[in-house]
Structure formats: structure tokens, C-alpha cells
């Protein structure tokens, strides 16, 4: 399986409120609330860290899951987020990831 | 040599909602009277206008007010269309044109859209909610159709000033938010008062067996707010502005759930 790189789409608006990540598509104004796994994936999606590294260092350390199974689930999740244009996916590193929201007391943008 | 052109008298009025004067020009005296009646209480004598629209009246036969609204931007021009109107607005020139039949509903829709576009760049928005002023503060009551906006408005005591029973006008001012009265009515069909006040609270309406106010988690507050904000344009920049404005509002204005039975005692909890 080839390595995948994921990047936050700069064309969305995102806020993390008390651990709840909400993202609005700039394309059609659809509002998404990410679950914990999707939030970790989205936050780690800097375009240069591969998906398998994200799974190994961010997801497997958070949840008691088998790495192979976790990678498969993460790829499915990443493709779903990409279908809503929240994430970008490529087999090459992506240089234009959206910056992570700034942290503020109780929330971040 | 005979005169080949005829001078057409231009009639106009200024409709000022939320402190933003919009001049409307027409050549039809009956339409002008219709507008004067429709926006009574929101007419201004101001010479200044943030936006100026020329209205071209067309045949009503092609009108379809139930068609979807389309709002797009390109080459410095906003294009607003629905079955019953076509409008263009060029912000740089502060001018635009509306083609519609002689009815108040089409221009009402154009005004709502224009106000949402202007407010989106200023941190404000229009929201599906009733609103009223009591004891110097404005209180907003948000909910979808049937949630109780009209009911809570109808139950308002004499010392409450109704701003709207349907569409609230929220403007960011300084470190807080101010609600303005609007002529945009719901089932109550009563224009709001053309006054404003700092917003004291936003209540998410629910009808239940008792009157009570419950705290709402920040995430739910922001989600509910976004679900009730009016937004028409498929424009990424404005979508993002509105999204962040909703979070900003929810972080500065107390948001609670107001469960109420339909009688006037619910207002004992407000203000």
C-alpha cells in the first residue's frame, strides 16, 4: 500500500470548542462536528506527516487498536473527510495545509 | 425640432434598517406608496445611503417567489436572483438594480440578502429569532418554525419592546452585540420597533411542561446559532466570516435554553 499524506483544507472554517471540533465547508456551508478520532486526524494533517505516521504516533497511542486495523480505518475516515473537502489527500506531501487554529482559553480557531 | 426624449420623474425613499440606509428609486408612484406603507417606521430622511437601488418594475406573470434564491459574486458584482426578482449590486459603487413586479415581498428578500452580505463582513448577522428589549437589554429567542417565536412575542408584557417576531438584526459594536428592530415579520405580521439595545442573552426556544432556563454547552450554543443564522451566498470568504462570527457571539453573549409553556409567566424569567 502506498503512503498517503493528508492536509487540512485551507478553504474551511474550523473551531475547537471545549474539545469539540466543528468545521464548516466553505463550499456549501455544511457544518461538521468531528468525533475524537477525526479530530486527532484533522489536527495532525499537516500535509507532510504521512497517514501511517499519524496512526502510529497519534491514534494508536490514544486508543487500544491494532496498527493495521487503525490505518485501514484512518484511511477510510480520511477519504470520507476528503469527499466533503475538509481534508486533502495525496500520495505526495502536500505543501498547502491550513494552519492549525490558534489556541485560546476554552476554544481555538 | 421636436423633443425626442421625455423626462421621467424619479421617486425615491430611504429604508433604514439596523442603522444602514438603503435608497430605493422608482418611477412608479403607486409602488412608492406601497413601499412607504410596508416600511413605515423604517423610513429615513437621510441624504446618505450605504446602498442605492433602482427598481425596474416588470410583468408579474413570470414571478415565482418559491424558487430557490441564488446569490453569487463575480467581477465586483453581486447577483441575486429568485423566481420573482433579479438584482445586481456593485458594492464599490454602492449601487444596484432590482427587476421585479410591484410587490413588497421581492424587495423585502433583496433587502434581507443585502443586509446579510454587509453584516457578514462586519461580524454581524440576521438570525431566525424573535427579539425584544426589556429593562434596557435586548433578548433574542431563536428557533425553527414552530419553536415558539411568534408565541413568545405575543406573550410579551407591556414593558417589553418588540424588535421582531421573526428575523433579528445583530450588529457587532465595540466589545458586544446590539440588536435592532426590523420590519421583517412572521406570523404576528407586526413590524418591530425601530430601536436598538445591547444584547443581554440569546435563548434557544423549546416548548415544555414548565418554564425554565437551562445552561447550554458552548458547542451546542454555536451549532444552534449557526443553524438559525440567515445566509444566502455560496462565498467561501463570507461563509468563514459568518462561522467565526457565530463563535464570537456565543463566546460573548450568554446562550441558554428557554423551555416554556405558552402563557405570559415565562416573561418573569426574562430581563
Q: What is the pLDDT of residues B235-254, one digit of tens each?
A: 888 889 999 999 999 999 99
A31 touches chain B (CB under 8 A): yes
In a domain, B3, yes or no: no
In a domain, B2, yes or no: no
3-state SS track over chain A: CCCCEEEECCCEEEEEECCEEEEEECCCCCEEEECHHHHHHHHHCEEEEEHHHHHHHHHCCCCCCCHHHHHHHHHHHHHHHHHCCCEEEECCCCCCCCCCCCEECCEEC
B230 touches chain A (CB under 8 A): no
Lowest mean pLDDT among A30-34, A52-56, A96-100: A96-100
Q: B69 and B25, same structural domain?
A: yes
In this prediction, residue B234 carries a pLDDT of 79
Specify burial of residue A76 (Cβ count, 10 A radius: 0-12, 13-18, 19+).
exposed
Where residue B136 sits, what CATH number does that domain have?
Answer: 3.90.228.20
pTM over 0.95: no
Q: B115 and B73, same structural domain?
A: yes
Q: B236 and B103, same structural domain?
A: no
- Spatial distance between the Cα atoms of B105 and B253, rounded to a whole number of angstroms: 32
Q: B251 and B168, same structural domain?
A: yes
**Looking at B59, B87, B120, which one is the last position of a domain?**
B120
Q: Where are chain A's structural domains?
A: 5-86
User: How far is the CA of A43 from the CAs of B39, B126, B138, B220, in angstroms?
Assistant: 49, 32, 38, 21
Q: B224 and B195, same structural domain?
A: yes
**Looking at B71, B98, B120, which one is the last position of a domain?**
B120
- β-bridge mates for residue A32, sequence order: A23
Q: B182 and B64, same structural domain?
A: no
Read off the DSSP letter of residue B193: P
Residues of chain A in contact with residue B239, where contact means CB-CB under 8 angstroms, are 13, 24-26, 29
Q: B130 and B86, same structural domain?
A: no
User: How far is the CA of B77 from the CAs of B9, B53, B97, B100, B242, in angstroms?
Assistant: 27, 13, 11, 19, 20
In this prediction, residue A34 carries a pLDDT of 92
In this prediction, residue A102 carries a pLDDT of 54
Q: Beta strands A107-108 and A5-8: pairing type?
A: unpaired
In this prediction, residue A17 carries a pLDDT of 85
- Spatial distance between the Cα atoms of B128 and B186, rounded to a whole number of angstroms: 10
Triad B202, B208, B209: Cα angle to 5°: 130
C-alpha of B232 from chain center? 12
Q: B113 and B245, same structural domain?
A: no
Determine what percent of chain B is predicted with pLDDT higher than 90: 79
Q: Dig out the grid coordinates for B57 from the structure.
A: 418594475
Q: B250 and B171, same structural domain?
A: yes
- Spatial distance between the Cα atoms of B225 and B141, rounded to a whole number of angstroms: 11
Structure confidence by residue, pLDDT tens digits, B62-96: 567 778 899 999 999 999 999 999 999 999 999 99
Q: Can you tell me the mean pLDDT for A63-73? A: 91
In a domain, B232, yes or no: yes
In this prediction, residue B5 carries a pLDDT of 60
Q: B138 and B42, same structural domain?
A: no
Structure confidence by residue, pLDDT tens digits, B158-215: 999 999 999 999 999 988 999 999 999 877 778 899 999 999 999 999 999 999 999 9
Q: Is the pLDDT of residue B51 over 60?
A: yes
Q: B163 and B89, same structural domain?
A: no
Arithmetic mean of pLDDT over chain A: 86
Structure confidence by residue, pLDDT tens digits, A2-42: 689 999 998 899 998 887 899 998 877 889 999 999 999 99
Structure confidence by residue, pLDDT tens digits, B113-171: 999 999 999 999 999 999 999 999 999 999 888 889 999 999 999 999 999 999 999 99
A109 touches chain B (CB under 8 A): yes
In a domain, B5, yes or no: no
Q: B179 and B88, same structural domain?
A: no
**Looking at B94, B120, B146, which one is the last position of a domain?**
B120
**More confident of the two residues B42 and B191:** B42
Residues of chain B in contact with residue A28, where contact means CB-CB under 8 angstroms, are 234
Residues of chain B in contact with residue A84, where contact means CB-CB under 8 angstroms, are none
**More confident of the two residues B112 and A29:** B112
Beta carbons of A15 and B223 less than 8 Å apart = no
Could you name the CATH architecture of A5-86?
Orthogonal Bundle (1.10)
In a domain, B143, yes or no: yes
First to last CA, chain A: 34
Backbone dihedral angles phi then psi of residue B19, each to the nearest 5 degrees: 80, 10
In this prediction, residue B7 carries a pLDDT of 62
Q: Dig out the grid coordinates for B24 from the structure.
A: 430605493
- Give me the domain span that covers residue B222: 125-269
Nearest to B219 among A18, A25, A109 (CB): A18
In a domain, B4, yes or no: no
B125 touches chain A (CB under 8 A): no
In this prediction, residue A106 carries a pLDDT of 39
- β-bridge mates for residue B81, sequence order: B70, B86
Amino acid at each position: 500500500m502506498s503512503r498517503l499524506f493528508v492536509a487540512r483544507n485551507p478553504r474551511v472554517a474550523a473551531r475547537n470548542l471545549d474539545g469539540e471540533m466543528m468545521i464548516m465547508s466553505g463550499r456549501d456551508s455544511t457544518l461538521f462536528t468531528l468525533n475524537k478520532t477525526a479530530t486527532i486526524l484533522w489536527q495532525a494533517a499537516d500535509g507532510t506527516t504521512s497517514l501511517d505516521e499519524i496512526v502510529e504516533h497519534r491514534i494508536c497511542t490514544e486508543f487500544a487498536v491494532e496498527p493495521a486495523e487503525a490505518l485501514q480505518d484512518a484511511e477510510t475516515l480520511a477519504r470520507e473527510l476528503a469527499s466533503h473537502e475538509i481534508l486533502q489527500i495525496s500520495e505526495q506531501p502536500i505543501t498547502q495545509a491550513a494552519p492549525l487554529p490558534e489556541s485560546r482559553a476554552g476554544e481555538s480557531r | 425640432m421636436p423633443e425626442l426624449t421625455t423626462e421621467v420623474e424619479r421617486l425615491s425613499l430611504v429604508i433604514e434598517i439596523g442603522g444602514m440606509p438603503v435608497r430605493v428609486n422608482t418611477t412608479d408612484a403607486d409602488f412608492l406608496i406601497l413601499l412607504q406603507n410596508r416600511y413605515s417606521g423604517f423610513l429615513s430622511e437621510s441624504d446618505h445611503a450605504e446602498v442605492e437601488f433602482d427598481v425596474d418594475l416588470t410583468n408579474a406573470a413570470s414571478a415565482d417567489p418559491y424558487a430557490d434564491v441564488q446569490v453569487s459574486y463575480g467581477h465586483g458584482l453581486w447577483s441575486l436572483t429568485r423566481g420573482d426578482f433579479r438584482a445586481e449590486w456593485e458594492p464599490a459603487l454602492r449601487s444596484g438594480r432590482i427587476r421585479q413586479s410591484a410587490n413588497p415581498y421581492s424587495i423585502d428578500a433583496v433587502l434581507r440578502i443585502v443586509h446579510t452580505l454587509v453584516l457578514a463582513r462586519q461580524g454581524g448577522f440576521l438570525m431566525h429569532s424573535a427579539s425584544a428589549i426589556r429593562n434596557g437589554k435586548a433578548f433574542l429567542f431563536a428557533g425553527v418554525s414552530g419553536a415558539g417565536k411568534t408565541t413568545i412575542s405575543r406573550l410579551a408584557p407591556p414593558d417589553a419592546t418588540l424588535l421582531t417576531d421573526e428575523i433579528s438584526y445583530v450588529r457587532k459594536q465595540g466589545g458586544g452585540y446590539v440588536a435592532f428592530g426590523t420590519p421583517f415579520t412572521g406570523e404576528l405580521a407586526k413590524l418591530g420597533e425601530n430601536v436598538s439595545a445591547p444584547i443581554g442573552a440569546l435563548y434557544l426556544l423549546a416548548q415544555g411542561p414548565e418554564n425554565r432556563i437551562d445552561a447550554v454547552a458552548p458547542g451546542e450554543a454555536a451549532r444552534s446559532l449557526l443553524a438559525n443564522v440567515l445566509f444566502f451566498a455560496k462565498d467561501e470568504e463570507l461563509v468563514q466570516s459568518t462561522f467565526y462570527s457565530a463563535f464570537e457571539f456565543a463566546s460573548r453573549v450568554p446562550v441558554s435554553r428557554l423551555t416554556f409553556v405558552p402563557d405570559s409567566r415565562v416573561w418573569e424569567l426574562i430581563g
